[in-house]
Structure formats: structure tokens, C-alpha cells
Amino acid sequence: MPPPQIPDADALYDHAACGLVVTDTDGLIHRANATFCRWLGFDSASLVGQRRIQDMLTVGGRIFHQTHWAPMLQMQGSIAEMKLDILSSSGRPMPMLFNVIRRESDGLVWDEMSAMVVNDRQAYERALLTARNEARAAHDRLSIADQRKDEFFATLAHELRNPLAPIRNVVEIMRRLSSNDPILARSCSILEGQVVQLTRLIDDLLEVSRLNHGKVNLRIEAVSVSEAIARALDGAQPNIERAGHELGYEPPSPDLVVAADPVRITQMILNLLNNAAKYTPDGGRITIDVEAAPDSVAITITDTGIGMTSDQLLGVFDMFAQITPGVHRSEGGLGIGLALVRGLVERHGGSVSAHSDGLGKGSRFTLVLPRVTEQQGDDRPVE
């Protein structure tokens, strides 16, 4: 298809959305575009070199031109949003808003002005105001809905947590009574695993509510990266071993420290490890790499899992995002873990990013936190 024909400058000038006029310093019209002529019912020949702009105004407009327009142009070289009534060819007054600027070049001085019919301008402003009010109302409705959603999940998490203690106690009693019954012992192990998983999901829901309401308080201190990763591996090891994944990790120096809440940094790394274990088919490989820069430390977790498309990468840290091609829904979780990682790392002044070469090509998540080069003696709470 051939490219569209772009109008030349003269055509753009003539058919602009506003009236455009050029006059000399006495107001004599030297050029008027087609829009201006059409609005007033004149042809260009009857205006150019024939009329002064002030002579086309009403009596009150001519007085205002003499007392305000001309002096302002003389003193400041421009006029902004000045409303005057101009007479059409039929003698009917037409209210217009004028913007004028005085130009000078090679000893010549002239005035360039744009004009907009007030009724058109007012209609545009009314439409703009209506659209702004509608957008504000929609935003308010969304804010209320979002707040109610957070309150619902917080309430749900608390209500779900209440039955967990008695369930956990019953499982423990059953375990003690099942020493001679392998079927019952196996059933207890399954129940216990499900209770642990449900507890983690409930904790994630509560954490989401705290983050959204600004109730997560961080105790920032110098945390050894190797110790934080070790604690996270303790929590993720059962999932990694259950899936038969190979783990590649070379611990960094214990002296490599970051400014972080020790509990939260472990939580962030654990979430990334569990995510890698979950979305990697059995027998895959997960690696942990640590790279230190002068002012930051990057912890990268790479897997050989199902990977992601470019569209999925865009929303991978969104709340309740599900990246589950080829994964059974029951293994998909609530889509909270990665959103929590982003929310927590941003509270630390760090960042998290994701990369994948495509479906079936694994994923890579990089957590970046501020590095501490000298031990800090005082804890620094972050509200």
C-alpha cells in the first residue's frame, strides 16, 4: 500500500482546527487561513490588505483593543486567551478567544494570532471536564473495590488460619497412634504436608494485606548473603528433593553482606526457589549465582523449567498472575509469591527482574539488594 499523501505546509495552515491570522503592527490583515474566513463568512480577498482586525470587532471590542490589546502587545509582545466579539460578514457578533505573539525579523515586525470560537472551546472544555470527572469516579470505584478485596483476603486468611491449629494437633495425635500402621503413617505425612502448604498460602495472603496497607515494618541490618541463602535452602529443600531437581550453588564469602531485614530476605529467596522448583519438571536443574557490585549484590536463581513468553514476563510480578502452561492447576498456587518478592524488595530499595528465552527454555530471576561495605552497628527500622 502506498504511503498517504502528507499535506504541504500551506494546506495545513489553511485547514488548521483554529483560525490563523497574520497582521502588521497596525492590525492590517496580511494573511488569514480558510478556517478563519469560513467561520466569519468572508473570502480571503475581502480581508487580506482590506481590513484591520480591530475594525472587525464590535464597538466594545474596539475599545478593549485600544485599551488592552495594543498596549499589552507593545509591552510584553504577546497576548494569551483574550476574549473579544468579532463581527461576521452578516454583522453577527461571534465570541472568539485570541492568542497573539509579535514577531520581528530583518527589520520587519508583524503579529501572528490564533483564534478559537468560544462556543467550540467551551464545548471542548465541558467534554474534557466530563471525561475527567468520569475518570476520577472510575478511579474512586476501583480504589474502593481494591480496598474491599484486600479486606476480604485479610479476613479470609484469618478465618482459614483458625482451624489449622486443631487440624495440626489431630495430625500429631494420629502420627503417635500410627507407629504400627504404615497406611495411617503415610496418611499423616500427606495431611501434614497439606497443612504446611495451606499455612504458607494463608501467610502469603496475610502478607499481601500487610504490604497493601503499609503495615510491613522492616528491621534493616547487615545480613550475610550466604546465611540468608542457607536459611532459604532449608525451607526449599523438601520441594527441590521431592521433584528430584539438581541444585547448583557455590556459597559466597560470609563477609558479603547486604542491607536487609533478615527474615524478609530469606522469605524473598525462598519464594524464588519454591517458584523455580514448582515450575521445573521433575529432574530439572536449579542454580543460584551471587554477583557483587560496589554498591549492590545480585542473587540470581536460574531453572530449566517451563519458561515464559514475552507477554507472560510483562505480568509475572503482578498479583495473582498464573504462569502455568503444562502445569496442573493444583500446583499453580495463588500467584502471590512473586508479587510479594517485588513488594518486599522495593521496600528494601532494591529490585527484582525476570528473564526467559521462551516456553520450555527455563527462567531466570535476579534479586538486587543494597550492599553493605562496612558493618552497621545500629538497626534501622523502615516503617
pLDDT at 26: 93
Q: Which CATH architecture has domain 218-382?
A: 2-Layer Sandwich (3.30)
Cα separation, 225 vs 30, in Å, equals 75
| Cα dihedral 65, 71, 77, 78 sign | negative
Of 3.40.50.360, 3.30.450.20, 3.30.70.20, 1.10.10.60, the CATH number of 9-123 is: 3.30.450.20
163 by DSSP, 3-state: which?
Answer: coil
Q: Which residues of the chain have pLDDT under 70?
A: 1-7, 120-124, 178-179, 212-213, 320-335, 374-383
Largest CA distance in the chain: 113
CB 265 within 8 A of CB 228: yes
CA distances from 374 to 54, 121, 258 (A): 75, 62, 10
Q: What pairs with residue 354 in β-bridges?
A: 365
- pTM here is 0.55
pLDDT at 334: 58
Dihedral angle over CA of 185, 188, 190, 191, nearest 10? 170
pLDDT at 206: 74
Q: In what order do the strands lie in the sheet with 93-105?
A: 29-32, 19-24, 108-117, 93-105, 78-87
pLDDT, one tens digit per residue, over 115-160 is 998 876 666 677 778 888 888 888 888 888 777 777 777 777 777 7
pLDDT at 2: 55
Extract the C-alpha cell encoding 211: 504490604
> Where along the chain do its domains lie?
9-123, 138-212, 218-382
Class of domain 138-212: mainly alpha
